[in-house]
């Protein structure tokens, strides 16, 4: 691992090819020194904080350039992203998480990677839930759950894990999840597909058992079992008959189904509906 200890700036003095917002393809190089690179990064982050939004591509590429400089020849994907703005988040994360998880990495650089990693996740998964981002404007990768499709047993399954997890972490996690799915069946597979469920949580099974309501044939079966629909319809029929309007009034089942979905998480899997308390 390259030494990331700060001298005059968090990554030491490096000649850097700084992304130019007026030239996003970097057809013409723009060399800058390390101090200018740090200023560009911090300025971009300050702007994102003021907007309470994500950093721009320009700032993301500047962060990638700084980390690639510290990595040297090992930062191939970060270097490519810094130059072109293109690159697979999966490959990029393997490089920046190596720096992020290094205990010698300065706090400031780790914060930069939080911003870069979040930018890449939102770029690839625009619907990613932000509820784990906290109340402040700064993102934290550990609080951002991202989708992964590891092989659990014979099939690949959708799960959500913190954005700090490496490929090796996920592979190790998959072995344990496969054993749990074999024990708990499709209901756990369905639970793991919920966007706010951290598949790596040590409390996974406890949370599953506390929130699982049951498995049903279809949505009609769900509504009949988790609401008082049968009682409501019986009462309504009696009320209508007493007034001589039997058959003229009814319960809007579609509206009840919509309300049920607001109260419960319902995952349809293998022709069954698995229901969980929110």
Looking at the 3D structure of the chain, how many domains does it have?
A: 2
Supply the pLDDT for residue 10.
47
Q: Are residues 251 and 270 in the same domain?
A: yes
271: containing domain: 147-277
Which tokens belong to 236?
């309504």
pLDDT of the chain along its 278 residues, tens only?
444 443 434 444 333 444 555 444 332 334 345 788 899 999 999 999 998 889 999 999 999 999 998 877 667 899 999 999 999 999 999 999 999 999 999 999 999 999 999 999 999 988 775 544 444 678 999 989 999 999 887 889 999 999 999 999 999 999 999 999 999 999 999 999 999 999 999 999 999 999 999 999 998 888 888 775 666 666 656 675 767 777 766 666 787 778 888 889 999 999 999 999 99
Q: Are residues 49 and 169 in the same domain?
A: no
Note whether 148 and 159 are within 8 A (CB). Answer: yes
Q: Are residues 59 and 178 in the same domain?
A: no
Distance CA 161, CA 146 (A): 6
Q: Using CB atoms within 10 A of its CB, is residue 46 exposed (0-12), middle (13-18) or buried (19+)?
A: exposed
Q: From the CB of residue 2, how many other CB atoms can be counted at a distance below 10 Å?
A: 17
Supply the pLDDT for residue 255.
77
Supply the pLDDT for residue 75.
77
Distance CA 138, CA 28 (A): 32
Q: Are residues 137 and 155 in the same domain?
A: no
Q: Using CB atoms within 10 A of its CB, is residue 144 exposed (0-12), middle (13-18) or buried (19+)?
A: buried
Q: Are residues 20 and 129 in the same domain?
A: yes
Distance CA 41, CA 25 (A): 18
Distance CA 70, CA 208 (A): 42
Contacting residues for 111 by C-beta, under 8 A, at least 6 apart: 45, 138
Supply the pLDDT for residue 122.
92
- What residues does 152 pair with on adjacent strands? 155
Q: Are residues 26 and 129 in the same domain?
A: yes
Q: What is the CA radius of gyration of the chain?
A: 25
Distance CA 61, CA 44 (A): 11
Closest CA to 121 of 97, 101, 103, 98: 97
Which tokens belong to 72?
């040297």
Q: Are residues 181 and 89 in the same domain?
A: no
Distance CA 49, CA 208 (A): 36
The residue out of 114, 142, 170 marking a domain boundary is 142
Q: Are residues 160 and 261 in the same domain?
A: yes
Supply the pLDDT for residue 154.
82
Q: Are residues 273 and 151 in the same domain?
A: yes
Judge whether 5 lies within some domain: no
**What φ, ψ does residue 214 adopt, rounded to 5°?**
155, 175
């Amino acid at each position: 691992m390259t030494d990331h200890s700060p001298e005059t700036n968090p990554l030491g003095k490096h000649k850097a090819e700084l992304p130019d917002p007026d030239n996003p393809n970097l057809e013409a190089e723009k060399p800058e020194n390390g101090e200018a690179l740090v200023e560009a990064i911090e300025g971009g982050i300050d702007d994102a904080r003021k907007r309470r939004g994500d950093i721009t591509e320009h700032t993301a590429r500047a962060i990638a350039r700084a980390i690639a400089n510290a990595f040297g020849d090992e930062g191939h994907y970060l270097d490519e992203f810094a130059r072109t703005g293109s690159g697979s988040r999966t490959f990029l994360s393997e490089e920046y998480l190596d720096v992020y998880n290094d205990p010698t990495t300065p706090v400031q650089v780790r914060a930069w990677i939080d911003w870069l990693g979040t930018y890449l996740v939102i770029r690839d998964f625009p619907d990613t839930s932000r509820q784990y981002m906290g109340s402040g404007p700064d993102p934290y990768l550990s609080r951002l759950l991202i989708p992964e499709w590891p092989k659990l047993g014979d099939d690949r399954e959708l799960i959500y894990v913190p954005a700090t997890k490496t490929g090796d972490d996920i592979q190790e996690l998959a072995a344990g999840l496969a054993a749990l799915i074999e024990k708990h069946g499709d209901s756990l597979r369905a639970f793991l597909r919920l966007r706010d469920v951290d598949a790596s949580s040590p409390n996974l099974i406890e949370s599953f058992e506390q929130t699982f309501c049951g498995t049903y044939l279809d949505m009609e079966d769900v509504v009949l079992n988790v609401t008082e629909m049968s009682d409501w319809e019986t009462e309504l029929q009696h009320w209508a008959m007493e007034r001589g309007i039997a058959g003229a009034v009814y319960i809007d089942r579609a509206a009840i189904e919509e309300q049920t979905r607001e109260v419960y998480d319902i995952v349809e899997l293998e022709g069954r509906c698995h229901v969980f308390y929110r």
